[in-house]
Structure 1
Amino acid sequence: MATGKGSSACQSGQTAFAARLLGRFAAVAAADGSNLIFSPLSIHIALALMSTGASGDTLAEILAVAGAPSRDELQAFVRDSVIDRVLADQSGAGGPIVAFACGAWMDWRMPLRPEYRDTIVSAFKGSATTVDFLDKPVESRVQINAWVAEVTRGLITEMVNPNAQSKDTVNVVINAIYFKGNWRDPFRKENTIDHEFHLLDGSTIDVPFMQNWCDQQIACYDGFKVLKLPYKSMDVDRSSPDFDWMQLKSIPKFYMCIFLPDTCDGLQSLLEEITSSPKFLLNHLPLMLVPVNEFRLPRFKLNFGGSIVEDLKSLGLILPFDPLTASVSEITEVDTTDDGQIYVSEVIHKAVVDVNEEGCEAAAATESDDDMGFSLDYEPPKLVDFVADHPFAFFIIEETSGSVVFAGHVLDPSRE
């Protein structure tokens, strides 16, 4: 069980991990001139899942990268703070649709240790399934994809390629996150207009821009602006005699924040600032509503899918992927000494986000075989423009915990 101190340490570790991931992913995407979308929260949960079957130096390395004091505290944090709170579905009370699911698929020749199965069920609210990876590899992976498609409401339909996987696979663990929220103040579709978006190469394209003229939560800094767009949260009857203000503070609240550089080519330097400190992101969020003059955001839909092993290695996670050094055999009761070490051969991450006038729909899945402060340079604006007509970074954040659920950047809103 994570203590308050342990939970705080894990939350700080998760925030630092998100910043480091963003730095890595953004640099790779920028080199390709690509848009970016990923879920730091999903990948952090994947590390917690990986720790469940690890021991020795491998476990220590996973915990160091995840920023967690211990495996027990990491698992308790994921269960109590993330799955039970951040990823709790609010749709029945007027809030966002949020779905999380965790599944483990094990080859029947390698039966799961009861302790591992119990952890999947209790800590990660998941389920464990036996399949035949050796003789029925395609059917096994079709089953996995069907599960992911169901959890993500069809946003992610193929997590693993049924025809391109090794028959040596013995264990696949996947977690999937689905989020669909409506803006607290939605945009009116009749106000959407085509407008120029400036690309990094100096050219422009016409794309649909959403716009309105309501007061917005915007902060202006030296070289960039930050917008905070809240999603509609759970309906709460504040007139009820049983209303609890302390409980209200604990209700998950989601928002999208957009970091917009002042110059068309300023995204890279802005991302370097964001990733320079784990607290930079949360410390630069707007604190108040301001009146706006021009306010326009492009619609965009992004997706990402692929291996993130090299990205995790760049952050210092080495041992789990090395068949000579990995110690992740605590998942099975079978003695693997004669057959070779069990190791993590692949980590696949997929994410999708769709931002439009009504709100945002997003999903992510990952498979693996600190206190808020105030910036001193903040100046409350009197009347501001916020026109996201050039490359910008965006984040979907849960406010009460500070968890970064999704992150990315938009270089070209016309491309998925």
Structure 2
Amino acid sequence: MELKQIIHGQISYSLNLYKKLLSMEQGNVVVSPLSISAALAITAGGARGETLNQMVSHLKFVDSNIMHQYFIHIRNVVLKDISHEGGPVLDFANCVLVDKKLPLHTTYQNLIREYYGAESSAVDFGTQAEWARGEVNLWASQKTRGKINELLPPGSVESSTKMILANALYFKGQWEKQFDSWRTRDEPFVLLDGRTVRKPMMASRDRQYIKNYGTFKVLRLPYRNGSRGDQAFSMYILLPNSADGLLQLEKDIDASATGWFVEHLPDLKETVAVRNFLLPRFSISTGFEAPLLLMSLGLHLPFDPERSDLSGMLNELVGSFPPLCISNVFHKATIEVNEEGTVATAATAVVVAFGSCMPSEQYEDFVADHPFLFLIREDHSGSIICIGRVVDPQ
């Protein structure tokens, strides 16, 4: 399978997930499709039959081998921490907690270790459910540098829980050209309902990577990417020309827009002069339970206690067990954007139980004084780290 097809698939998954989330969240939103898909891929590593096929298809891969190869590339190349060489601070980690009475299959243990860097830890959920919840939350907090402290809420882990599979993602990048804090000033920002509020807006006189696509503009803000050259992270801001244009822009983002993301975002390589440039500081946190969202995107079997097949996780030679299924999926994501750069984090936990579930010197202004869409992308691989919207800068 060509790399371009894989990129198309992952962008499509990211956009579909984002659009479905908008039906649940009306305000500011940030989500990491990459974190969600990683946690599901680890789970899929133990799926068999139609459950495996559906999970692989849901994640937009043609087969499980390509899926696992993609995530080892994400872990070892795309999100490998080379901050000591001047790039962003990165952490992409996975962990698995399993009930001590369940014998994990050696093949599954080897798979999650080789492709996802995850070692399984045994716990007695029957007597230590709350302790296990605390351990996962502590792990997520450590991996996200304290940004996500309670991935699993109270009551989410019970004595009936048999396994928790979690992913955590941390990104801290400095702008290639940082904003001067002394230029930041309160300016009007128009909300979706037409009201105007005053928010701190970062300003710049530097040339910028901007392209005008008629009804909206795209700004690319590159991060310092280190000396090796195999990583290139950027934030992209998609700003509607009209103050109330975000809803239409989001409506236009469908499967056909995937090609646009692949073909046009990499073209933002030439800077243009700006006269007016404003971008709000913003901080967003989003958390939700994902089963209904995932099922609305066609992922049903792993949640179905009657049809789920996660038997590849267990060594059946050791004993006979009821079928495993996903009982819940929790996701949290945060992002903070200021004059220095960006901190973005995400964590996802899958809870498993038994049977329950510029050519010329022209000017192009960019004044983000109304709602807009944003994403962080690794430009070599096309991987979208997170995507979201700002309707009211916090």
Q: State whether structure 2 residue 14 is matched by structure 1 residue 18.
A: yes
Counterparts of 2:248 and 2:25, CA distance in 1: 14
Indicate if the aligned counterparts of 1:252 and 1:398 stay in contact, CA closer than 8 A.
yes
Tell me: CA distance 1:334–1:132, structure 2 relative to 1, closer, same or farther (3 Å): farther
Structure 1 residue identity aligned to 2:69: A
Q: State whether structure 2 residue 211 is matched by structure 1 residue 219.
A: yes
After superposition, the C-alpha distances for 1:212-241 in whole angstroms (9 at most, x for unaligned) are 1100000001110000000001135xxxxx
* 1:90 to partner: Cα distance: 1.9
Q: Secondary structure at the match of 1:95?
A: coil
1:234-383 to 2 correspondences below 5 Å: 234-235=226-227, 248=229, 251-277=230-256, 278-285=258-265, 286-334=268-316, 340-369=322-351, 382-383=362-363
Counterparts of 1:346 and 1:118, CA distance in 2: 25
Indicate if the aligned counterparts of 1:354 and 1:361 stay in contact, CA closer than 8 A.
yes
2:374 to 369, 391, 394: 394
Question: Which residue is equivalent to 1:182?
Answer: 174
Structure 2 residue identity aligned to 1:391: P
Q: State whether structure 2 residue 46 is matched by structure 1 residue 67.
A: no
**Bigger mean CA offset, 388-397 vs 117-126:** 117-126
1:21-60 to 2 correspondences below 5 Å: 21-30=17-26, 34-60=27-53
Counterparts of 2:109 and 2:333, CA distance in 1: 27
Indicate if the aligned counterparts of 1:22 and 1:275 stay in contact, CA closer than 8 A.
no
Q: Secondary structure at the match of 1:384?
A: coil
Structure 1 residue identity aligned to 2:220: K
Tell me: CA distance 1:7–1:217, structure 2 relative to 1, closer, same or farther (3 Å): closer
Runs of 4+ residues over 6 Å off in structure 1: 335-338, 378-381
* 1:317 to partner: Cα distance: 0.4
Structure 2 residue identity aligned to 1:196: P
Q: State whether structure 2 residue 150 is matched by structure 1 residue 142.
A: no
Tell me: CA distance 1:189–1:210, structure 2 relative to 1, closer, same or farther (3 Å): same
Indicate if the aligned counterparts of 2:103 and 2:318 stay in contact, CA closer than 8 A.
no
* 1:334 to partner: Cα distance: 4.8
Output the TM-score relative to the length of structure 2. 0.94
Counterparts of 1:314 and 1:336, CA distance in 2: 36
Counterparts of 1:202 and 1:216, CA distance in 2: 28
Indicate if the aligned counterparts of 2:11 and 2:384 stay in contact, CA closer than 8 A.
yes
**Bigger mean CA offset, 62-71 vs 331-340:** 331-340
Structure 2 residue identity aligned to 1:110: L
Question: Which residue is equivalent to 2:354?
Answer: none
Counterparts of 1:42 and 1:69, CA distance in 2: 20
Q: Secondary structure at the match of 2:279?
A: strand
Q: Secondary structure at the match of 1:344?
A: strand
Structure 2 residue identity aligned to 1:60: N
Counterparts of 2:186 and 2:317, CA distance in 1: 63
* 1:282 to partner: Cα distance: 3.3
Tell me: CA distance 1:164–1:61, structure 2 relative to 1, closer, same or farther (3 Å): closer
Point out where structure 1 has 5 or more consecutive residues left out of the alignment: 237-247, 370-377
Tell me: CA distance 1:314–1:97, structure 2 relative to 1, closer, same or farther (3 Å): same
Point out where structure 2 has 5 or more consecutive residues left out of the alignment: 352-357
Counterparts of 2:215 and 2:147, CA distance in 1: 36
Q: Secondary structure at the match of 1:343?
A: strand
Counterparts of 2:193 and 2:146, CA distance in 1: 35
Indicate if the aligned counterparts of 1:6 and 1:69 stay in contact, CA closer than 8 A.
no
* 1:163 to partner: Cα distance: 4.0
Structure 2 residue identity aligned to 1:25: L
Question: Which residue is equivalent to 1:101?
Answer: 93
* 1:338 to partner: Cα distance: 6.7
* 1:46 to partner: Cα distance: 2.0
* 1:276 to partner: Cα distance: 4.1
After superposition, the C-alpha distances for 1:12-63 in whole angstroms (9 at most, x for unaligned) are 3212111211221123323xxx110001111221221121010111111111
Counterparts of 1:268 and 1:307, CA distance in 2: 24
Output the TM-score relative to the length of structure 1. 0.89
Tell me: CA distance 1:334–1:203, structure 2 relative to 1, closer, same or farther (3 Å): same
Identical counterparts, % of pairs: 35
Counterparts of 2:259 and 2:82, CA distance in 1: 28
Counterparts of 1:226 and 1:7, CA distance in 2: 25
Counterparts of 1:254 and 1:367, CA distance in 2: 26
Structure 2 residue identity aligned to 1:95: G
Q: Secondary structure at the match of 2:327?
A: coil
Q: State whether structure 2 residue 71 is matched by structure 1 residue 78.
A: yes
* 1:269 to partner: Cα distance: 1.0
